[in-house]
Amino acid sequence: MSTMLGFLTVIAAKLLQITYLHRNSPQSPASVVLTKVQMDVLIANTPPKLKNGVECTIEWAIKAIARLGGYLEHRKGTAIGI
């Protein structure tokens, strides 16, 4: 149990760091907080239509991580159910 807690603590700290950077400087390069391997995994899991001209910024990384968790990007300003 303590091994799992230690593992999850590291992940939580990294997510807090990237969330803070997203709020303050979303156009900063993702390499500030992510390793090359982590960025390669996010690029590999990016849908083909979004891969064209991808800039590896903090904002892009947040969206890519959210998509791994099941987030579906919706267009802004559209009402659901109308």
Q: What is the pTM of this model?
A: 0.78
Domain tally, the chain: 1
**Cα 61 from Cα 54, distance rounded (Å):** 10
pLDDT in tens, 3-23: 999 999 999 999 999 999 999
Residue pair 2/45 in contact by the 8 Å Cβ criterion: no
User: Is residue 79 included in any domain, yes or no?
Assistant: no
pLDDT, one tens digit per residue, over 32-72 is: 999 999 999 999 998 888 788 888 999 999 999 999 988 88
57 belongs to a structural domain: yes
Residue 77 is assigned to a structural domain of this protein: no
Let me know if residue 45 belongs to a domain.
yes
Residue 14 lies in a domain: yes
22: containing domain: 2-68
Within a domain: residue 56? Answer: yes
